[in-house]
Chain A
Amino acid sequence: MEMKESGSNLVLYLSGRVDVHLASEVEAELNDIIKKHPDKNLVLNLDDVEYMSSSGLRVFVSLMRSLKESNRGLRLCNLSVAVKKVFEVVELMDMFDIYDSEEEALAAG
Chain B
Amino acid sequence: MHHEKAGSPIVSALGNGRLQVVRNPEVDYILDLVLDEARRLVQARQGNFYLFNSISKLEPFLPAAASEQDIALCEDVIQARTSRLIPENPALCVYMTLQEGDLGVLLLREPAYFDQFYEADLALVQNLAATFAILLKSAFIDQRTPEVFLGFKSSLLLLLENAHLNHKIKESDHQLKSVLEVSNLINSSRELSEMIQTVLYSAKRVIRAESASLFLVDEKTGELYFEIIAGNKKDLKGFRIPRGQGIAGITAATKKSLIVNDAQNDARVFRQVDQVSREITRNILAAPLLIEGEAIGVIEVINTIDRPAFSEHDLEIFESFSDSVAIALQRRRLLDSIQRTNVQLERRLREITSLHAVARAQVEERTIQDLFARALNIVRDDLKVGRASILMASGSTLKMAASAGTYDESDATPGSLAHHVFSTNRPVFIEDFRENPEFAAMANPHRYDSRSCIILPLASPGQPPFGVLCLAEPSSGQFLEEDYKLLLTIASQIVKGYENLGLNEQIIVKKSLEKEMEITSRIQRNILPIKKPQHLHLDLAARSVMAKTTGGDFFDYYVHTPNGDVSCLVADVSGKSLPAALFMAVSSSILRTIIRQEIDPTRVLAQANDLLFEESQSGMFVTVFLCRYDPSTGRLRYASAGHNEMILMHENGNYEMLSGKGSPLGVLPAYRQKYLGGSTQVRDGDLLILYTDGVIEAVNSAGEEFGMDRLMSTLHEVRDRKPEEIVETVYKRVIDFSGSELQYDDFTMLVSRFFGTVRGKSDYHIALPARVESVPALRDFVLNACQRHGLAGQDLEDLLLVSDEAATNIVLHAYRKEDDKPTFDCDLEIEAGSLFRIQLRDQGIPFKREEVPGPDIRENMAGRRRGGFGVYLIKSLMDSVEYHRKGDTNFFVAEKILKKEES
Q: Cβ of B808 and Cβ of A55 under 8 Å apart?
A: yes
Question: With an 8 A cutoff between CB atoms, is B276 at the interface?
Answer: no
- Taking the closest CB of chain A, its distance from the CB of B197, in whole angstroms, is 135
CB neighbors of B among A44-82 (8 A): 51, 53-55, 57-58, 61-62, 64-65, 68, 82
Residues in A with CB closer than 8 Å to B779 are 19
The 8 Å CB contact of B869, one of A21, A54, A65, is A54
Q: Cβ of B775 and Cβ of A90 under 8 Å apart?
A: no
- Max count, chain A CB within 10 A of own CB: residue among B779, B794, B804, B812: B804
Q: Cβ of B855 and Cβ of A20 under 8 Å apart?
A: no
CB neighbors of B among A74-105 (8 A): 82, 85-86, 89-90, 92, 95
A12, B857: Cα distance in complex, Å = 23
Residues in A with CB closer than 8 Å to B811 are 20
Q: Cβ of A21 and Cβ of B772 under 8 Å apart?
A: yes
Residue of A nearest to B861 (CB): A65
- Taking the closest CB of chain B, its distance from the CB of A40, in whole angstroms, is 21
Q: Cβ of B869 and Cβ of A90 under 8 Å apart?
A: yes
Residues in A with CB closer than 8 Å to B294 are none
Q: Cβ of B804 and Cβ of A57 under 8 Å apart?
A: no
Which one, B34-42, B512-520, B559-567, B871-879, is touching chain A? B871-879
The 8 Å CB contact of A57, one of B773, B776, B869, B877, is B869
Question: With an 8 A cutoff between CB atoms, is B669 at the interface?
Answer: no
Interface 1/0s, chain B 478-500, versus A by CB < 8 A? Answer: 00000000000000000000000
Q: Cβ of A65 and Cβ of B860 under 8 Å apart?
A: yes
Given the known inter-chain contacts A86-B873, A90-B873, please indicate yes or no for A58 contacting B797, CB distance below 8 A.
no
The 8 Å CB contact of B805, one of A53, A82, A92, is A53
- Taking the closest CB of chain B, its distance from the CB of A89, in whole angstroms, is 5
A51, B804: Cα distance in complex, Å = 11
CB neighbors of A among B838-864 (8 A): 855, 857, 860-861, 863
Q: Cβ of A68 and Cβ of B869 under 8 Å apart?
A: no
The 8 Å CB contact of B808, one of A53, A85, A86, A90, is A53
Residues in A with CB closer than 8 Å to B867 are 54-55, 57-58
- Tell me how many residue pairs across A and B have CB atoms closer than 8 Å: 67
Q: Cβ of B857 and Cβ of A19 under 8 Å apart?
A: no
The 8 Å CB contact of B804, one of A53, A61, A95, is A53
- Taking the closest CB of chain B, its distance from the CB of A64, in whole angstroms, is 7
Chain A's interface size range is 20 to 34
Residues in B with CB closer than 8 Å to A57 are 867, 869
Q: Cβ of A61 and Cβ of B860 under 8 Å apart?
A: yes
Residue of B nearest to A51 (CB): B800
Residues in B with CB closer than 8 Å to A53 are 775, 801, 804-805, 808, 870
Residues in B with CB closer than 8 Å to A51 are 800-801
- Taking the closest CB of chain A, its distance from the CB of B271, in whole angstroms, is 142
- Taking the closest CB of chain A, its distance from the CB of B767, in whole angstroms, is 18
Give the size of the chain B interface in residues (CB under 8 angstroms).
27
Q: Cβ of B773 and Cβ of A21 under 8 Å apart?
A: yes
Residues in B with CB closer than 8 Å to A95 are 857
Question: With an 8 A cutoff between CB atoms, is B866 at the interface?
Answer: yes
- At the interface, is chain A mostly helix, strand, loop or mixed? helix
Q: Cβ of A61 and Cβ of B808 under 8 Å apart?
A: no
Q: Cβ of B861 and Cβ of A68 under 8 Å apart?
A: yes
A19, B775: Cα distance in complex, Å = 8
- Taking the closest CB of chain B, its distance from the CB of A33, in whole angstroms, is 20
A21, B773: Cα distance in complex, Å = 6
Residues in B with CB closer than 8 Å to A58 are 860, 866-867, 869
Residues in B with CB closer than 8 Å to A21 are 772-773, 775-776
Q: Cβ of B808 and Cβ of A89 under 8 Å apart?
A: no
A55, B871: Cα distance in complex, Å = 12
Residues in A with CB closer than 8 Å to B797 are 82, 85
- At the interface, is chain B mostly helix, strand, loop or mixed? helix
The 8 Å CB contact of A89, one of B776, B857, B877, is B877
Interface 1/0s, chain B 808-847, versus A by CB < 8 A? Answer: 1001100000000000000000000000000000000000
Residue of A nearest to B860 (CB): A61
A17, B804: Cα distance in complex, Å = 11
Q: Cβ of A54 and Cβ of B870 under 8 Å apart?
A: yes
- Taking the closest CB of chain A, its distance from the CB of B876, in whole angstroms, is 5
The 8 Å CB contact of B863, one of A65, A82, A92, is A65
Q: Cβ of B861 and Cβ of A64 under 8 Å apart?
A: yes
Given the known inter-chain contacts A19-B804, A19-B808, please indicate yes or no for A54 contacting B873, CB distance below 8 A.
yes
Q: Cβ of B775 and Cβ of A62 under 8 Å apart?
A: no
Q: Cβ of B812 and Cβ of A20 under 8 Å apart?
A: yes
Interface 1/0s, chain A 5-44, versus B by CB < 8 A? Answer: 0000000000001011100000000000000000000000
Q: Cβ of A61 and Cβ of B857 under 8 Å apart?
A: yes
A19, B806: Cα distance in complex, Å = 12
A35, B797: Cα distance in complex, Å = 35
Q: Cβ of B776 and Cβ of A17 under 8 Å apart?
A: yes
A21, B771: Cα distance in complex, Å = 9
Residues in B with CB closer than 8 Å to A90 are 855, 869, 872-873, 876
- Max count, chain B CB within 10 A of own CB: residue among A53, A57, A58: A53
Residues in B with CB closer than 8 Å to A17 are 776
A21, B872: Cα distance in complex, Å = 20
A2, B782: Cα distance in complex, Å = 31
Interface 1/0s, chain B 359-392, versus A by CB < 8 A? Answer: 0000000000000000000000000000000000
Residues in B with CB closer than 8 Å to A20 are 772, 775, 804, 808, 811-812
- Taking the closest CB of chain A, its distance from the CB of B711, in whole angstroms, is 39
A58, B805: Cα distance in complex, Å = 12
Residues in B with CB closer than 8 Å to A82 are 797, 801
CB neighbors of A among B763-790 (8 A): 772-773, 775-776, 779
Given the known inter-chain contacts A19-B776, A55-B808, A57-B869, please indicate yes or no for A92 contacting B857, CB distance below 8 A.
yes
A74, B11: Cα distance in complex, Å = 89
Residues in A with CB closer than 8 Å to B873 are 54, 86, 89-90
- Taking the closest CB of chain A, its distance from the CB of B816, in whole angstroms, is 18
- Taking the closest CB of chain A, its distance from the CB of B764, in whole angstroms, is 20
A19, B805: Cα distance in complex, Å = 9
Residues in B with CB closer than 8 Å to A62 are 860, 866
Residues in A with CB closer than 8 Å to B812 are 20
Residues in A with CB closer than 8 Å to B872 are 54, 89-90
Residue of A nearest to B773 (CB): A21
Residues in A with CB closer than 8 Å to B800 are 51
Residues in B with CB closer than 8 Å to A19 are 775-776, 779, 804, 808
A85, B866: Cα distance in complex, Å = 20
A55, B812: Cα distance in complex, Å = 11
A53, B646: Cα distance in complex, Å = 45
A51, B779: Cα distance in complex, Å = 11
A82, B793: Cα distance in complex, Å = 10
Interface 1/0s, chain B 131-146, versus A by CB < 8 A? Answer: 0000000000000000
Residue of A nearest to B870 (CB): A54
Residue of B nearest to A53 (CB): B804
Residues in A with CB closer than 8 Å to B857 are 61, 92, 95
Residues in B with CB closer than 8 Å to A85 are 794, 797
Interface 1/0s, chain B 745-768, versus A by CB < 8 A? Answer: 000000000000000000000000
A20, B812: Cα distance in complex, Å = 9
A85, B798: Cα distance in complex, Å = 9
CB neighbors of A among B864-903 (8 A): 866-867, 869-870, 872-873, 876-877
A61, B868: Cα distance in complex, Å = 12
A6, B776: Cα distance in complex, Å = 34
- Max count, chain B CB within 10 A of own CB: residue among A19, A82, A85: A19
Given the known inter-chain contacts A65-B863, A90-B855, A90-B872, please indicate yes or no for A54 contacting B805, CB distance below 8 A.
yes
Residues in B with CB closer than 8 Å to A61 are 857, 860-861
Residues in A with CB closer than 8 Å to B804 are 19-20, 53
Please list 8 pairs of residues, one from A and one from B, whose beta carbons are closer than 8 Å in the complex, sorted by A's number.
A17-B776, A19-B775, A19-B779, A54-B805, A54-B808, A54-B867, A65-B860, A89-B873
Q: Enumerate the 5 nearest inter-chain pairs by beta-carbon distance, A residue then B residue, closest first.
A: A54-B869, A20-B808, A54-B870, A58-B867, A53-B804
| 8 more CB-based (< 8 A) A-B contacts, given A20-B775, A90-B873 | A21-B772, A53-B870, A54-B805, A54-B870, A57-B867, A57-B869, A62-B866, A85-B794
